[in-house]
Amino acid sequence: MSEYGTMSESDETTAVNPPADEAAFTALIEQHRRELHIHCYRMLGSFDDAEDAVQDAFLRAWRYRESRRGGVSLRPWLYQIATNACLDVIARDKRRTAVTPATEADEAVAPNVAEITWLQPYPDALLEPAAPRETEPDAIVVTKETIELAFLAVIQLLTPQQRATLILRDVLGWSAKETAALLDASVAAVNGALQRARATLRRHLPSRKAEWPAGVDATVAERELVRKFVEASEQADTKWFASVIREDAVFRMPPEPGETVGRDAMMRLWMEGGFGTTMRLRCLTTRANRQPAVAFYNLGKDDTTYEAMALDVIRIEEGMITEVITFAPTVFEDFGLPLTI
């Protein structure tokens, strides 16, 4: 699952003493902003909270810059600060502490992913490498399995230490020793936390079946499936939906808790909300979390302007849509989407 090399392989050689000038120091750490933002996003499951955590981490880095004296490498030092900033966010947030088990004994009664009400999508445009790998050794290459919403939601069910351990070990490729040093824990504790985290993922992650049958051009097939989804939405055609949404599909709408299971139940819910009657929709396509996404606009009262309504991120399995997660139009700005069309 690792998408980075280990810290010893990819971390840059840095000066013993940090720059004393704040502008120079900021320029030094700014090059790591994107990867730290993605790290905080995985820890917190929220794009907005990740932005706040990175800002907090940068402030802490400047405040405690003297602690880097003695040859401590910059990148792992920043990851330690960012991870601690995220752990503080988790500890302060009643929503998260309500669904996150505090101890191993609490794991058996942890809620399911339907209670992860703070989940937000991440624009694919911001997941692209900051520079080609041949010219930037630490360029981010984010794999789908480590950023898709199903994975992000499930790891929110882990204890904070388990979550940090899983991300550092299985996603970033850190060694047990490096992870233990960052978390101020023993190697044995880190290994135990990783085992329990992997067990939770096995219990809660949906089955990972192929998106498309062998021999199918995935790009073309996905484009066609999304086209049908868009046309079914704009034309309020329930038969078209039946052709692209699997019978046992799941629908969620954070920050509302709970989920709707089954295509028919989903359609009833949408129709109760005005689909096909009071709604007149237009769509724009985009991508989030390495998954296709569709931005919906509803015709306004002036009958000329379509207003931002929702962003649907869809998961595909065996050529059918198996999950739709809908987000409020407050996420449109992060995706560079207009609020009206």
Model pLDDT for residues 154-172, shown as the tens digit of each residue: 999 999 999 999 999 999 9
Kindly report, as residue ranges, where domains of CATH 3.10.450.50 are found in the chain: 218-335
Which tokens is 122 given?
């991440």
Give residue 6's pLDDT band: very low, low, confident or very high (50, 70, 90). Answer: low
- Does the structural domain 218-335 have CATH classification 3.10.450.50? yes
Kindly report, as residue ranges, where domains of CATH 1.20.140.160 are found in the chain: 7-204
- pLDDT recorded at residue 100: 76
pTM of the model: 0.90
- Tell me if 39 sits within 8 A of 167, measured CB to CB: yes
CA distances 165 to 20, 123, 202, 230, 262, Å, are 32, 25, 16, 40, 35
Question: Within 13 Å, how many C-alpha atoms sit on residue 7's CB side?
Answer: 19
Which residues have a Cβ under 8 Å from the Cβ of 167 and sit 6 or more positions away? 39, 42, 43, 155
- pLDDT recorded at residue 10: 44
| Nearest partner of 314 among 200, 194, 230, judged by Cα | 230
Q: What is the DSSP letter of 319?
A: T
For 154-187, b/e burial (b = at least 16 CB within 10 A) is bbbbbbbbbbbbbbbbbbbbbebebbbbbbebee
* Contacts made by residues 226-230, CB under 8 angstroms, sequence distance 24+: 226/285, 226/292, 226/294, 226/314, 229/294, 229/314, 229/321, 230/283, 230/285, 230/294
**Cα separation of 131 and 125, whole Å?**
13
138 phi and psi, to 5 degrees? Answer: -100, 20
| CATH classification code of 7-204 | 1.20.140.160
- Tell me if 87 sits within 8 A of 164, measured CB to CB: yes
- Tell me if 308 sits within 8 A of 297, measured CB to CB: yes
Structure confidence by residue, pLDDT tens digits, 24-83: 888 888 999 999 999 999 999 999 999 999 999 999 998 988 776 656 688 899 999 999
Question: Within 13 Å, how many C-alpha atoms sit on residue 306's CB side?
Answer: 16
**Cα separation of 6 and 122, whole Å?**
24
